[in-house]
């Protein structure tokens, strides 16, 4: 199970692999009625959130093989981020990127202006910090636009309840909605799921998930520097703040939560957990001010009493493990060999993943091996052929289950699904009225430090 990983690799590895363009051969078919594909059969795309994750999603969108796609609008709160994204996408995709200056929008209202450039059948990409997902999705539902939103889609109970309702409204409007939980589009995991359902490993009795490596992204942050507002600083370093992203727990671990719940075909009903902050200073001895724990160990419990253990760690110099496994009464399976959903998946007759007891290993065609491209192929196929397609409800449920484990660690309490769903702690209310110079959801003390979780002391909320 142990796998050393390159911790400098971003989730989407944006623009690294221009050769990864793949068409889902099983889905190649005549385009559906023009009304579902945008005027003149071109699906227009607006990118809202132009960091590496959003830029990677836009690149995948423009790489879909059947039917023309065009990026026509971009929005972000940071001008330099939009410019860098535009330059790279234009270099890579040429005429598929048609975003003149008057369709490049900066500011907290950029999402509205970008979506106003779209029409029926077009797609808005949401890749801002997750706290803003409900704000942007609300506007998309109002306009009836198709959506691809990155994960997580919520970080607390109140916004989850809001997103569940929006998901229902999107279905009623026949919107097609994708969520960036790409494991669900891994052809290896699709096959493994079928085999587990067919009983090849017997009854699932235990699952294990690991993401343990050094600090990445904006996991740790030093006090806010001069020259940037408090609001922009917290948005910029969203991994460091629970309100913005669910912290590193939600942002880093959600894929393993998602695909192991899928393999179990169930959702945990409760969680209890351990976690702590350990070495929160940099090499100069300056203290980090983020809200993250360095380590997490969570025990999820399914309705039938079986367990799912998840271990996470962001510390240098420690053993690195990034993988997942499913144990059954007749054998076990490797779900992800390395990473969020890394090939190959396999089934073994014993409880250890030895080559000698391997009874199946996934064999995915080369043009189906990229789950990031697969999820876009699947979404666009549904748009062009007017097939039901809405991942928002499941994406919200996965986000909520992830938050349940995080809250258990941060409070030191056993947290049930109903507790997290019905919690009244909305961490960042009023984000639909957010402004660059307005009040930030967190207030720092005189030393620039923000509230951190205190397990056993603060028991009914995370900070």
Tens of pLDDT, residues 282-339: 777 778 999 999 999 999 999 999 999 999 999 999 999 999 999 999 999 999 999 9
Asked if pLDDT for residue 18 goes beyond 90, the answer is: no
State how far the Cα of 145 lies from the Cα of 147, in Å rounded to an integer.
6
The domain limits of the chain are: 18-183+372-391, 187-366+399-433
CB 154 within 8 A of CB 396: yes
Band (279; pLDDT cuts 50, 70, 90): confident
How confident is the model at residue 235, as a pLDDT?
Answer: 98
Band (15; pLDDT cuts 50, 70, 90): very low
Asked if pLDDT for residue 13 goes beyond 70, the answer is: no
Chain centre distance of CA 43: 24
CB 144 within 8 A of CB 120: yes
Give the model confidence (pLDDT) of 205-257 as tens digits: 999 999 999 999 999 999 999 999 999 999 999 999 999 999 999 999 999 99
How confident is the model at residue 40, as a pLDDT?
Answer: 67
State how far the Cα of 197 lies from the Cα of 204, in Å rounded to an integer.
10
Q: Which fold has domain 18-183+372-391?
A: Rossmann fold (3.40.50)
Give the model confidence (pLDDT) of 426-460 as tens digits: 999 999 999 999 999 999 998 889 999 999 999 99
How confident is the model at residue 320, as a pLDDT?
Answer: 97
What percentage of residues in the chain have a pLDDT greater than 70? Answer: 91
**For residues 168-193, average pLDDT:** 98
| The CATH number of the domain covering residues in 187-366+399-433 | 3.30.360.10
Which residues are 301's β-sheet partners?
270, 307
Which of 88-92, 375-379, 447-451 shows the lowest mean pLDDT across its residues?
A: 447-451
Q: What is the mean pLDDT of the chain?
A: 92
State how far the Cα of 149 lies from the Cα of 164, in Å rounded to an integer.
14
Closest CA to 46 of 7, 11, 85, 12: 85
**For residues 397-422, average pLDDT:** 98
b (16+ CB within 10 A) / e for 144-183? ebbbbbbbbbbbbbbbbbbbbebbeebeeeebbbbbbbbb
Band (127; pLDDT cuts 50, 70, 90): very high
Which of 51-60, 264-273, 282-291, 421-430 shows the lowest mean pLDDT across its residues?
A: 282-291
pTM of the prediction? 0.91
């Amino acid at each position: 199970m142990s796998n050393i990983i390159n911790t400098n690799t971003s989730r989407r590895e944006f623009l690294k692999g221009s050769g990864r363009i793949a068409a889902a051969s099983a889905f190649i078919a005549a385009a559906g009625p023009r009304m579902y594909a945008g005027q003149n059969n071109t699906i227009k795309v607006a990118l809202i959130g132009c960091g590496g994750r959003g830029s990677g999603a836009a690149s995948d969108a423009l790489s879909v093989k059947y039917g023309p796609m065009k990026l026509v609008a971009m929005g972000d709160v940071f001008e330099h981020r939009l410019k860098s994204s535009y330059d790279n996408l234009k270099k890579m995709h040429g005429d598929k990127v048609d975003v003149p200056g008057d369709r490049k929008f900066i500011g907290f209202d950029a999402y509205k202006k970008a979506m106003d450039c779209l029409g029926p059948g077009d797609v808005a990409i949401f890749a801002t910090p997750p706290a803003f997902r409900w704000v942007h999705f609300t506007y998309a539902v109002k306009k009836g636009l198709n959506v691809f939103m990155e994960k997580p889609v919520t970080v607390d109970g109140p916004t989850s309840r809001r997103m569940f309702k929006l998901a229902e409204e999107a279905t009623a409007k026949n919107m097609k909605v994708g969520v960036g939980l790409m494991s669900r589009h891994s052809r290896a995991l699709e096959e493994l799921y079928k085999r587990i359902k067919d009983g090849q490993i017997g009854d699932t009795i235990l699952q294990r998930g690991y993401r343990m490596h050094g600090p990445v992204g904006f996991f740790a942050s030093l006090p806010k520097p001069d020259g940037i507002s408090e609001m922009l600083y917290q948005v910029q370093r969203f991994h460091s703040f629970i309100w913005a992203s669910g912290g590193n727990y939600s942002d880093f671990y959600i894929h393993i939560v998602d695909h192991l719940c899928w393999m179990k075909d169930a959702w945990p009903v409760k969680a209890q957990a351990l976690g702590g902050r350990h070495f929160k200073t940099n090499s100069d001895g300056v203290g980090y001010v983020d809200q993250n724990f360095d380590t997490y160990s969570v025990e999820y419990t399914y309705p039938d009493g079986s367990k799912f253990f998840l271990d996470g760690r962001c510390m240098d110099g420690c053993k690195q493990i990034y993988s997942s496994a499913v144990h059954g009464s007749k054998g076990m399976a490797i779900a992800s060999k390395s990473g969020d959903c890394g090939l190959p998946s396999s089934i073994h007759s014993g409880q250890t993943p030895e080559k000698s007891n391997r009874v199946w290993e996934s064999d995915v065609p080369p043009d189906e091996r990229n789950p990031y491209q697969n999820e876009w192929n699947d979404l666009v196929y549904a748009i062009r052929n007017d097939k039901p397609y809405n991942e928002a409800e499941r994406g919200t449920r996965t986000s909520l289950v992830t938050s349940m484990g995080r809250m258990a660690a941060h409070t030191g309490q056993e947290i049930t699904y109903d507790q997290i769903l019905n919690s009244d702690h909305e961490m960042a209310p009023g984000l639909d009225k957010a402004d660059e110079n307005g009040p930030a959801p967190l207030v720092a003390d005189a030393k620039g430090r923000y509230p951190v979780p205190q397990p056993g002391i603060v028991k009914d909320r995370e900070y």
